[in-house]
Amino acid sequence: MTRSYFLRGLLGVGLLFGAGLTAQAQVNNVTFRVDMTAQIQNGAWTPGQSLAVSGDLNGWGSSIDMTNNPTLSGDATNIYAIVLPVSGPPGGNAGGGYKFRANGGWEDTSFGDNRNFTIVGGDQVLPVVYYEDRPPGPMTNGNVKFQVDMTPQVLTGGFTNGVSAVTVSGRFNGWNSGDVLTNDPAISGNGSNIYSGTIVVNDTLGNWERYKFRADGGWEAAAIYGVGGNKDRRMYLAGGDQVLPLVTYQDASLCDLLLQSTTVKFVLQITNGTTDNAGVPFDKANDQLFINGLFLGWPIWDTSLPEMTNNPVGSDLYEQTLVVPAGTSRQLQFKFGIAGAGHGAVDNEAPQYADHYAYVRTFGSSYTMSNLHFGTNFSATRIEKQFGDLTAGAQIGGNIPIRWLGLPCVTLQTKSSLAPGAWTDLPATDAASATNWPNTGGQRYFRLQKRPLP
């Protein structure tokens, strides 16, 4: 499947601002409810064992036990509840994240994220949800075949058949080190790069299971169509034996991977007094800045991480140049942290999953990222789009300057009308971000096109 971005004229944007009122925070009695029927049916949990809720409402600390109503009939006795005071104004303010806990373990929701709710003001009863989003129903013990193509990693030197290992890990095996997948080295060509394995998945029929592939113990990066903060893969349990579609590891193509080790300069722009996610301000004179990321293997957050250097000295710019190995996704996932008095843990830029995502947009061996900014929330400005932003400027010397956000395998295409027919591809614009188009009169349309996966 190809994806396109079209150049469009700006028709006009209107903005309307009005005065607002600040709602006063209040204490709200919120009822949390969870249905344990599926866990009781499959023997994963027994009434009388521990069941609790924990979250922002209690600092994710000690969990608070829940109770059921044994006088109800049927499965209604499997609904457990608790009423807790939650402070906050009604309306747009979220009530905070939370999860249910059975026997001390954290539930693993179908999307992998924390649960959340919005305060409506006053007493509030939240809808009943299934623990781990698993509805009750008949069980399936189907043999599920997983298969993944490692060709992009093999061709770029990040994976070696016969030496490297591939596993699959998910809710069905507790997100452990994973079940081993194997290839057939007797198959010629890239067919030997396909790894597969059949695993018995025991769960409720019609449920969704999340999973990821792992190469040499590492986790694959976010899947293109993944769910939750980690962009996990999902499969639907249709019942009986099933074969999942063949996918590439990390949903990657050679277009989306670094074909050689690439020296990348990261530039962070941060002002004195910028706060970490606990509200502690950055002290330029005494604090240190560090970078961590998926391409580094997410090592432990401490002062042994690569340190950002103030350059020019006294400015708001800090930089670090790192070598990103061949075979790494062009989309780099990373995060910054402040070390110094009062900051606590170095992983303090933003909450979990609120990482930076930025692309290496060159075929060359070196690249400098656009200036990055330290943030403490999920701001979309910290996630670069893959490609796009196609614009045209005023004519200069008989040429129309055209600019866009480019990427390897993305080219500019043109045609004289939007009538059915082929677009003319401009190969020289591959991985470029600008061109000057001669203004010879008449209409001319442009679009960006990324080549389909090989």
Write the burial class of residue 208 (CB in 10 Å: 0-12 exposed, 13-18 middle, 19+ buried). middle
DSSP string computed for 306-349: PBPEESSTTSSEEEEEEEEPTT-BSEEEEEEEEESTT--SS--S
Q: Which amino acid is at 129?
A: V
Q: Which of 21-25, 247-251, 253-257 has the lowest mean pLDDT?
A: 21-25
Q: Lowest-pLDDT range, 104-113, 265-274, 310-319?
A: 104-113
pLDDT digits (tens, 9 = 90+) for 390-417: 999 999 999 999 999 999 999 999 999 9
Q: What does DSSP say about strands 124-125 and 26-35: parallel, antiparallel, or unpaired?
A: parallel
What 3-state class would DSSP assign to 251? helix
> Using one digit for the tens of pLDDT, what is the confidence trace for 301-347?
999 999 999 999 999 999 999 999 887 889 999 999 999 999 999 99
- The answer to whether residue 133 scores a pLDDT higher than 70 is yes
Query: Between 3.40.50.300, 2.30.30.60, 2.40.70.10, 2.60.40.10, what CATH number should domain 26-133 receive?
Result: 2.60.40.10
pLDDT digits (tens, 9 = 90+) for 352-385: 778 999 999 998 999 999 999 998 766 655 788 8
Q: Which two tokens stand for residue 409?
A: 């395998």
Average pLDDT, the chain: 87
- Asked if 139-252 and 262-382 have one fold, the answer is yes
pLDDT tens-digit profile of 201-228?
988 888 888 999 999 999 987 667 788 8
- pLDDT at 20 > cutoff 50: no
Report domain extents, the chain: 26-133, 139-252, 262-382, 389-450
| Residue 349 pLDDT > 70 | yes
Residue 89's beta-bridge partner residues?
none
Asked if 290 and 307 touch (Cβ cutoff 8 Å), the reply is: yes
Domain 139-252 -> CATH class? mainly beta
pLDDT of residue 157: 80
**Spelled out in words, what is the top-level CATH class assigned to the domain 262-382?**
mainly beta
